[in-house]
Amino acid sequence: MLRLGRREFGEHEPVIMAIVNRTPDSFYDQGATFADEPALMRVERAVAEGAAIIDVGGVKAGPGEEVSAEEEVRRTAGFVAEVRRRFPEVVISVDTWRHEVGEAVCAAGADLINDAWGGVDPRLAEVAGRYGVGIVCTHAGGARPRTRPHRVAYEDVMADILRVTTALAERAVSLGVPRESVLIDPGHDFGKNTRHSLEATRRLPEMAATGWPVLVSLSNKDFVGETLDRPVKERLLGTLATTAVSAWLGAQVYRVHEVAETRQILDMVASIAGWREPAVARRGLA
**Highest CATH level, class, for 18-273:** alpha beta
CA distance 194 to 29: 22
DSSP one-letter string for 47-109: HHHT-SEEEEESS-SSS-S---HHHHHHHHHHHHHHHHHH-TTSEEEEE-S-HHHHHHHHHHT
Pick the catalytic residue: 75, 98, 171, 221? Answer: 221
Instruction: Clarify whether 221 is annotated catalytic.
Output: yes
CB 51 within 8 A of CB 266: no
CB 115 within 8 A of CB 125: yes
Pick the closest to residue 201 from 260, 168, 249 (CA basis). Answer: 249
Rounded to 10°, the helix 157-174/123-131 angle is: 50
Instruction: Clarify whether 233 is annotated catalytic.
Output: no
Pick the catalytic residue: 6, 255, 282, 283? Answer: 255
Q: Where are the domains of the chain?
A: 18-273
State residue 161's pLDDT score. 98
End-to-end CA distance of the chain: 39
What are the tens digits of pLDDT across the range 199-219?
999 999 999 999 999 999 999
Provide block-wise average pLDDT over 10 residues at a time, the chain (286 residues): 97 97 83 90 97 97 93 97 97 98 98 97 98 98 94 97 98 98 98 98 98 98 98 97 98 98 98 97 90
State residue 124's pLDDT score. 98
